[in-house]
Structure 1
Amino acid sequence: MAEVAAQKAQLQYEVAQRERKRNFRERSSAKMEAGLKMKESRLKLQQKQKQLENLSQKHSENPEIAQLLKALDELRDANDTYREALYNFCRTTLALESL
């Protein structure tokens, strides 16, 4: 009887170990995938910024286009500031929820 209980406990332990390993692999895989997506989006953003810089250099003689490009840069800066504030808000909210 004690032997059966010991075997059952051993099997439960092994199943739990496998479950923990599987969960760890899934989390690691999800983190890697998110990291790759982030790198891809950063690369696309850098390419678009380079294109905008090239356009800016090409059309800097025209004052109307130069003014529009300046407004676009200001809008981009405001968007970055908003994103950073939103990220900090979400992080703070999650930290408070975990308390």
Structure 2
Amino acid sequence: MNLFTLPKALLLAAAAMLSLLSSYGAANGDPSKYPQFAQQSVPAEVKLSFISIDELVAQVKAGKKPLIIDVRTAAEYREVHILSAVSAPLAEFKDNVKNIPKDRLVVLY
């Protein structure tokens, strides 16, 4: 299933950043803790934000329906994942970038 269409630079930076955040169990979205990702350049039309899990939950409760993409391995996804998240392992992610919707909030973890 094709699920993606955002600019490649944004998605690769965000995927790497969110993968790191989930690996370390970061509960807050403080980009100063991850300067290697926060300082990555992305196209001007792309808004890249760090959010905490609490902020994501609040957005979902407010009725927003983000596309949640799990960039961990397929095995990790099978073990446990966020309900409604789709799997797009980081190793294969660049092949799917063109299919990410531009008109929807996209969350990578």
TM-score bracket, normalised by the shorter chain, equals: under 0.3
Q: Which has the higher contact order (CA 8 A, sep 6+)?
A: 2
Q: Which one has the bigger strand percentage? A: 2
TM-score between the two structures when normalised by the length of structure 1? 0.24
- Larger Rg computed on CA atoms: 1
Higher helix share: 1
